[in-house]
Amino acid sequence: MRRVLALARQGEGYTRPNPLVGAVVVKDGVIIAEAYHERFGGPHAEVLALERAGERAQGAELYVNLEPCVDFPGKKTPPCTAAIIRAGIRRVVVAVRDPNPAVAGRGVAELKAAGIEVVEGVLAEEARKLNEIFFHWITTRTPFVALKLALTLDGKIASHTGKSRWITGPAARTRVHELRRRYAAVLVGANTVLLDDPELTVREVAGPQPLRIVLDGEGRVPPSARVFNRAAKTLVATARMRPETEETLRAQGVEVLRLPAQEQGVDLRRLLAVLGERGVDSVLVEGGGEVAWSFLSQELVHKIYFFYAPLILGGRRAVPAVGGEGFADPSQGIRVRDLTVEEVGGDLLLTGYPEYTGTRLTSLGTRDAGTRW
């Protein structure tokens, strides 16, 4: 099953909004064929692995990290359960069931009805984390949101002069490009674009380009910004923008999305709803501090990636990793569960999942906005 998970990861960025799936065919304790879901619309991992195994699949075992799919209206590929039954597989080992309401246990039931032994729950937690984006997306139809920050040991993302290049080292920056490949969209605020002029593309690793999203509530970012080049698609979410600026951006191929205004900029919940309607399954929020606060204070972040550099900037006017007004009391703060620490080059990557109480928004009232983006 660990081999299955490793195979599945090779599809990162290419299968969305489909899940990451690997498959291994084993006979007499020996792997005879393996495969992974390589791209959206392409053959599923189980079908590919069984094709490669050929007649040897008769009486073999199939290991897969996600419950094999069944036939349902609108499905683009043949059901994997039918292929497994035809191949003569005697036992299927499944890490987790598919939360897709169109599947949700039907795959396991079909295999059992055909006389195939099914074992469930092997490396289930690892399998759920591998497909956490898909699990969230398929059950809510809204994007899975992750917050990525590169910060110093004293919690700064830029100096008092606004300089942030480079807080973290080359290995951490390469990891960020891997994350951009994994997520369907990358999002920043207007301040980040004005200060750093990022391109927000995947460059240091191979992979598809994410949709670039700029939160620009007042239309302050100039059309000459690098994020508006044609290296990838770009969307600007705004509440107010001069008609001539909008016209220029549209001429450059940039989409301008007008959303209801909030005190801090635009309605983030409405933005995520629109993205969900368009099939965007995930968003990587890369900054800055005010945007981070807006997402966190509204309980919209599902995962964090904090890259800590062994660096101290100091200064009362240095830019904090998370801005805004902040919580009045530590008891209101956001706890992070399942925290893991990994060394990436000379930096540390902390990964975890925010825990929300559901009461924070009402206690903050309308004063959670902080500085406009």
| Catalytically active residues, by annotation | 46
Alpha helices of 72-220 — where are they, by DSSP H?
A: 80-87, 106-113, 124-130, 132-140, 170-182, 190-196
Bridge partners (DSSP) listed for residue 235: 213, 255
Say how far apart CA 81 and CA 69 lie, in whole Å: 6
CA distances in angstroms from 239 to 122, 143, 147, 260, 280, listed in the order given: 48, 21, 23, 6, 21
Tokens of 218: 């007042």
Are the C-beta atoms of residues 320 and 155 closer than 8 Å to each other? yes
Say how far apart CA 333 and CA 134 lie, in whole Å: 28
CA distances in angstroms from 150 to 196, 291, 319, listed in the order given: 13, 14, 12
Q: Is 145 helix (H, G, I), strand (E, B) or coil?
A: strand
Tokens of 177: 């490009």
8-state DSSP, 334: P
Say how far apart CA 213 and CA 207 lie, in whole Å: 18
Pairing of strands 91-96, 61-66: parallel
CA distances in angstroms from 300 to 127, 160, 284, 292, 313, listed in the order given: 23, 28, 12, 10, 29
Are the C-beta atoms of residues 344 and 307 closer than 8 Å to each other? yes
Tokens of 253: 């191929």
Q: Count other C-beta atoms under 10 Å from residue 124's C-beta.
A: 15
